[in-house]
Amino acid sequence: MQDNKIVQNTDEEFDVLVIGSGITGGWAAKEFCEAGLKVLLIERGRLVEHRKDYPTEGKGPWEYPYRTRTDNLLTERDHAIQQQCYAFNDTTKHFFGNDRELPYTTEEGTEFSWIRANQLGGKSLLWARQTFRLSDYDLSANAKDGHGIDWPIRYKDLQPWYDYVERFAGIAAGQDNLPQLPDSIGQPAFELTKPELDFQAAMARHFPDRPVVTGRCAHLTQPSNIQLELGRVTCQARHECYRGCSFGAYFSTQSATLPAAARTGNLHIAPNSVVHSLNYDEAKKRVSGVRVIDNDDLSEREYRGKLVFLCASTLGSTQILLNSVSKTFPDGLANSSGVLGRYLMDHNYNAWASAIIPGYEEEYYKGRRPTGIYIPNTHFEPSRYHKKFIRGYGLAGSASRGNWQGMSSSDGFGADFKQRMTQAGPWRIWMGAQGEMLPRADNQVSLHPTRKDKWGIPQLHFNCKWSENELTMMEHARDTAIDMLQKAGFEDIQARATQAPPGLAIHEVGTARMGDDPKQSVLNKYNQAHDVANLFVTDGSSFCSSGVVNPSLTFMALTVRAAHYAVEQLKAGRL
């Protein structure tokens, strides 16, 4: 990034202010810059430069004092919550927030694990990169079973934008022809291992309604010209994704949308700028700019813009809106409906099963692929709902052989122990559930009445918990996984259904939902605030339901759809 494009203090009015530089903010910046608009991308954290600022990339575990494990005392002090994330270890901790500096509270009797990554690129540097499309079954579920309001869009509204983002981002995906899991425009899928292929065949015989497909992921397997032009190349299957990827092989802000935006000359970045609130012009009924607090010295400044795209993550955007009060909006900007902060949802990961796969001693594999197998939701419409719960879940997993790392918890020493470390262990399979959470008004996030963070911003207060529907669903997911592993002839099956708190899927959605009725929703079908015409919110807060599949691909599609709509409205003089 050119130094003259880094902004701190300025009186200039930008065409678009984009708040947040993660998956959605990066896309918004790219689309507006390529449309010829002058964009200021506002990020609360530090700059992270592609390739240069991946300090742990390529380092072996022997180069760390605890072999990539973290110092327990420091971790408990600074990352007590963040360490619960699948991607957190000594090689990635610099990309996670410091919990001591990012406090929040929870209602008595509830828990919520809020995972944060405050730097340029946000959680796009840390996401698991699994990419599936929502189907019409997901988008019509609320209307069909009466839980939550109807989505104001259907699959036909998103399909061209799914196509658009997939071509640019690069998705490794097979063609599965399933009604509940629309196919992606994909590059060649990653190969399944021989035990996975045999498991796939066995499940087709025993459970024809539970297809086992290859997981889809945002990794390049056959880069296109546009991807090569941006310096992105084929995935090397190193399994170092969470450290940052200099190959640009997985989709992130740094590898894809940021360089595309920057090459237009229209992108400006304001790092270390913690957005306190949005400024609302009562006379013009528009947002005129943002008030920010400097991340380092706590000084205040403002940025002005004609259009604001709020992409700060579901909870970050909601906190900003709730803290943006005025005469017109005493309960939070664009909150005439009163639903801002309500209907918080996350995916439920609380069921898993594993087993040993006998045989296959002559089989192995090459590399460490970023995906595995996926079993889509089979309860995808009311006629298929289970009698004890509504909606459904998917199962994701993989089969692999044990390696030398598995010996780290084994007893032994000397030549025999060393020799055993050179031998591959048995094949094992693991599967985990991802279940839908129903939209409920009492699952809410609000501003704490007295507690503030170091930037003087009221802390978020969570009141969110699983319902009996979600808990029962996970018990069924566990039992289903056991049944499948038994039918496959696997051994030493272990399984659990747990009650870990919401948040750990890092798929939080729903707190500023879209809808056709302004009395029941914050945004319209283009992610535009009903109450404030020049304000758009395009992250997960706009969701009306969680669906079953990973949401990031839909975040991207909604963002580019909203950006193109906004450009049309600007050109027509309606914004």
Beta-strand pair 444-452/273-281: unpaired
Instruction: State the pLDDT at residue 436.
Output: 98
Structure-token pair, residue 301: 């400044």
- Tell me the two tokens of residue 381: 């419409």
| Ordered DSSP codes for 241-286 | GGG--TT--B--IIIIIHHHHHTTT-EEEE-SEEEEEEEEETTTTE
Q: What are the residues whose beta carbons fall under 8 Å from the beta carbon of 458, sequence distance 6 or more?
A: 319, 322, 323, 447, 448, 449, 451, 452
CA distance 550 to 130: 6
Distance between CA atoms of residues 557 and 162, nearest Å: 5
How far, in Å, CA of 257 to CA of 309, rounded? 16
pLDDT score, position 421: 72
Q: Is the pTM of this model over 0.75?
A: yes
What is d(CA 16, CA 267) in angstroms, rounded to the nearest whole number? 10
**Distance (Å, whole) CA 110 – CA 91:** 31
Query: Rounded to whole angstroms, how far apart are CA atoms 386 and 379?
Result: 7
Residue extents of the structural domains in the chain: 190-216+349-435+466-500
CA distance 349 to 504: 8
Question: Quick one: pLDDT at residue 406?
Answer: 61
> Half-sphere exposure of 232 toward its Cβ, with a 13 Å CA cutoff?
29
- Give the pair of three-digit tokens for residue 380: 């995808």
Map residue 228 onto helix, strand or coil. Answer: helix
Closest CA to 1 of 258, 381, 374: 258
What is the rounded CA–CA span in Å between residue 139 and residue 434? 17
What is the structure's pLDDT at 407?
A: 61
Neighbours of 123 (CB within 10 A): 22
Contact between 25 and 315 under an 8 Å Cβ cutoff? The reply is: no
10-residue mean pLDDT series, the chain (575 residues): 84 98 98 98 98 96 91 93 96 97 97 97 98 98 98 98 98 97 97 97 97 98 98 96 97 98 98 98 98 97 98 98 98 98 98 97 90 98 97 97 68 75 86 98 98 98 98 98 98 97 98 98 98 98 98 98 98 92
Q: What is the 3-state secondary structure (H, E, C) of 284-324?
A: CCEEEEEEEEECCCCCEEEEEEEEEEECCCHHHHHHHHHHC
Cβ within 8 Å of residue 440, ≥6 positions away:
147, 343, 467
Q: Tell me how many helices (H) and strands (E) the chain has.
A: 11, 16
Contact criterion met (CB below 8 Å) for 463 and 377? no
278 strand-pairing partners: 290
Bridge pairing between strands 351-357 and 427-435: antiparallel
Q: φ, ψ for residue 429 (rounded to 5)?
A: -125, 145
Residue 417: its pLDDT value, please?
73
CA 183 to chain centre: 20
